[in-house]
Amino acid sequence: MDVDTDAGELGPLDREGLVQRVARRLSKAIVSGQLPAGQRLSESVIARRLGTSRAPVREAARLLENSGLVTYQPNRGFFVRSFTPTELDNLYEFRIVIELAAVRRLIREGDRQTVPALCAQIDVLHRVAEPGHDMLTQVEADMQFHRLICNGAGNPRFLATFEQIALETELTIMLIGKLYDDAHRLADTHVPIVEAIQAGDAPAASDAMFHHLDVARSLVTEQFRKLEGEKPL
Amino acid sequence: MDVDTDAGELGPLDREGLVQRVARRLSKAIVSGQLPAGQRLSESVIARRLGTSRAPVREAARLLENSGLVTYQPNRGFFVRSFTPTELDNLYEFRIVIELAAVRRLIREGDRQTVPALCAQIDVLHRVAEPGHDMLTQVEADMQFHRLICNGAGNPRFLATFEQIALETELTIMLIGKLYDDAHRLADTHVPIVEAIQAGDAPAASDAMFHHLDVARSLVTEQFRKLEGEKPL
DNA sequence: TATCCGTCGATTGTCGACAATCGACTTGAC
DNA sequence: GTCAAGTCGATTGTCGACAATCGACGGATA
């Protein structure tokens, strides 16, 4: 590997600014649980720790606010978002609305090459189900499946809305600790959705997606209420 | 009226920061058409004109970016959002998804005191339909009706999503110039929705809302394509 | 002892200045 | 005349410092 001529592919290199790098670091830290819910995010402390000024940290925090990972109180600063059971239920109800509409549109007039991508993503889900992969990887693989659907729907608004709640969703799942006992079972629950899409059966796809998300909602909220009894989030 | 003891109601006074004031001014300027689509928003110029520093302007611009009023290009700055006919159609399709789900939830388990508010808002629509009210007032009254539905649905996500696209919607309507020839007719098209809600008839409410939004979509996109032929947006 | 008020440290809100980057213009060679 | 490279002005990206504000602590008072 030559370092001067990284000849590989000449795509545009990381033109990602400092703000986005800070945002990525912060979101990783929050989703992975290093920063607990309710934790205060002092601009000065973060800036000093990352070796930057407060300005990029502040902008990054506002970005994360839109992603629902942090809340902002005027003259008080940023705090890691905490969830109530009701908020969590509302989140999943909203996901159902968005993703059902997305999958219907995908069948109606969406990109046909989405189906192979979905099948490939199910393979990925099985691969990361093997031991040796941490939970964050599994959650992100799961989210990627749903992202593909919203992306293939054809209306960019679905993808944009999905991205807005994606990190929140990841965070809530990570807060719980695990979704299914067997990650392979989680991977299999995606199969009926793809089959219905492939068949062009919109009602079946809707039902499959609804069932998939509704089961997830039940599991997450139930587990969340159980956890909430132990330690207040 | 004593100025020292503005005894009226002792609610918390305008603690709205400089950022939000700037954002409000900018959004007004954009929606009202003072800043044309594609116009560059120079931080320095705006800051100088408003008598502030660049920092609040920058934050306000990022807020407006989330509302879809401005776009941001790294190292290039902020620009007033411009729409393609497809984007406009996607916006209205998305509104249909959100507001249909909202109205269904409103009937299912929403706040019952929303119905009187909706009736009152229809009265407002008729009032602002009279001569002497500018178009922005009419558009905002229309949006308020739909906001009430999303607010009363019970799941704050619907309201939050609505707010995110509310300014965009206002902007697109203002770009066109007018929606209906007779504003009273516009007010009347809201009546069937409220009636269906009051009757607790979810399918009828869905149909009424769909029809309402679908007509608006047709009118807006048609008018938009017509306008686009004359002056490129 | 409980409550209220003033003080204080810490954090955010805002600012002006410098560095990095971009797009347009000029210049030059072919 | 066309295209490429180099230069320049303007704008954004980032920074450090000062002012405004908040919540907590401590002391005075009833």
Question: Residue B181: what pLDDT?
Answer: 75
- Interface subset of A 157-186, CB within 8 angstroms of B: 157-158, 161, 165
- Interface subset of A 96-125, CB within 8 angstroms of B: 97-98, 101
Mean per-residue pLDDT for B63-75?
Answer: 96
Residues across chain A:
233
DSSP for B49-80, please give it: HHTS-HHHHHHHHHHHHHTTSEEEETTTEEEE
Question: Residue B225: what pLDDT?
Answer: 87
Give the contacts of B137 (CB within 8 A, at least 6 positions apart).
B128
Question: Residue A83: what pLDDT?
Answer: 93
The answer to whether the beta carbons of residues A209 and A100 sit under 8 Å apart is yes
Place B80 in a pLDDT band, splitting at 50, 70 and 90: very high
By Cβ distance, the residue of A55, A66, A155 closest to B66 is: A66
- Cβ-based contacts of A97 with chain B (< 8 Å): 97-98, 101
**Does A18-80 carry CATH code 3.10.450.50?**
no
What is the distance between the alpha carbons of residues B107 and B120, in angstroms, rounded to a whole number?
Answer: 18
Q: Does the C-beta of B15 come within 7 A of strand D?
A: yes
Both tokens assigned to A183: 């990650």
Residue spans of alpha helices (H) in chain B: 18-31, 43-50, 54-66, 85-109, 114-129, 135-152, 156-176, 183-188, 191-199, 202-230
By Cβ distance, the residue of A66, A93, A157 closest to B91 is: A157
Averaged pLDDT of chain B: 90
**Does B85-230 carry CATH code 3.40.630.30?**
no
Place B93 in a pLDDT band, splitting at 50, 70 and 90: very high
Question: Residue A5: what pLDDT?
Answer: 39
Averaged pLDDT of chain A: 90
Note the CA–C1' distance, A54 to D20, in angstroms.
17
Does pLDDT of B7 surpass 90?
no
By Cβ distance, the residue of B62, B93, B155 closest to A93 is: B155
The answer to whether the beta carbons of residues B173 and B139 sit under 8 Å apart is yes
Place B230 in a pLDDT band, splitting at 50, 70 and 90: low
Place A177 in a pLDDT band, splitting at 50, 70 and 90: confident
Note the CA–C1' distance, A232 to C7, in angstroms.
34
Given an 8 Å threshold on Cβ–Cβ distance, is A156 in contact with B17?
no
Give the contacts of A44 (CB within 8 A, at least 6 positions apart).
A54
Given an 8 Å threshold on Cβ–Cβ distance, is A157 in contact with B55?
no
Q: Does the C-beta of A160 come within 7 A of strand D?
A: no
Cα distances (angstroms) measured from residue A1 to each of A8, A9, B56? 10, 13, 46
Place A182 in a pLDDT band, splitting at 50, 70 and 90: confident
Place B229 in a pLDDT band, splitting at 50, 70 and 90: low
Note the CA–C1' distance, A4 to D3, in angstroms.
29
Q: What percent of chain B has pLDDT over 70?
A: 91
Mean per-residue pLDDT for A18-36?
Answer: 95
Given an 8 Å threshold on Cβ–Cβ distance, is A155 in contact with B94?
yes
Does pLDDT of A166 surpass 50?
yes
Higher-confidence position of A181 and B215:
B215
Place B4 in a pLDDT band, splitting at 50, 70 and 90: very low
Give the nucleotide at minimum CA-to-C1' distance from B54: C15
Give the nucleotide at minimum CA-to-C1' distance from B73: D12
Question: Residue B98: what pLDDT?
Answer: 98
Place A111 in a pLDDT band, splitting at 50, 70 and 90: confident
The answer to whether the beta carbons of residues B61 and B41 sit under 8 Å apart is yes
DSSP for chain A, please give it: --SS---S---------HHHHHHHHHHHHHHTTSS-TT-EE-HHHHHHHHTS-HHHHHHHHHHHHHTTSEEEETTTEEEE----HHHHHHHHHHHHHHHHHHHHHHHHH--TTHHHHHHHHHHHHHHHHSTT--HHHHHHHHHHHHHHHHHHTS-HHHHHHHHHHHHHHHHHHHHHS-S-SSHHHHHHTTHHHHHHHHHT-HHHHHHHHHHHHHHHHHHHHHHHHHHHHHS--
Note the CA–C1' distance, B47 to C16, in angstroms.
12
Higher-confidence position of A88 and B231:
A88
Place A192 in a pLDDT band, splitting at 50, 70 and 90: very high
- Cβ-based contacts of B101 with chain A (< 8 Å): 97
Tell me whether strands B40-41 and A70-73 are parallel, antiparallel or unpaired. unpaired
Question: Residue B11: what pLDDT?
Answer: 52
- Cβ-based contacts of B63 with chain A (< 8 Å): 62
Longest dimension (CA), chain A: 57
Q: How many CB pairs under 8 A join A and B?
A: 42
Does pLDDT of B232 surpass 90?
no
Question: Residue A132: what pLDDT?
Answer: 86
Place A31 in a pLDDT band, splitting at 50, 70 and 90: very high
The residue whose CA lies nearest the C1' of nucleotide C23 is B76
User: Hey, is the C-beta of A201 within 8 angstroms of any chain B C-beta?
Assistant: no
Residue with structure tokens 């770009």? B175
By Cβ distance, the residue of A17, A59, A74 closest to B17 is: A74
pLDDT digits (tens, 9 = 90+) for B153-189: 999 999 999 999 999 999 999 988 776 778 898 899 9
Longest dimension (CA), chain B: 58
How far is the first Cα of chain A from the last one, in angstroms, to the nearest whole number? 48
Question: Residue A168: what pLDDT?
Answer: 96
Domain ranges of chain B: 18-80, 85-230
Cross-strand bridge partners of residue B40:
B79
The answer to whether the beta carbons of residues B87 and B46 sit under 8 Å apart is no
Give the nucleotide at minimum CA-to-C1' distance from B19: C13
As to burial, measured by CB atoms within 10 angstroms (0-12 exposed, 13-18 middle, 19+ buried), residue B196 is: buried
Residue B82: name the closest of B40, B47, B23 by CA.
Answer: B40
Chain D nucleotides near the protein (CB, 7 A): 11-17, 21-23
Both tokens assigned to A168: 């929140």
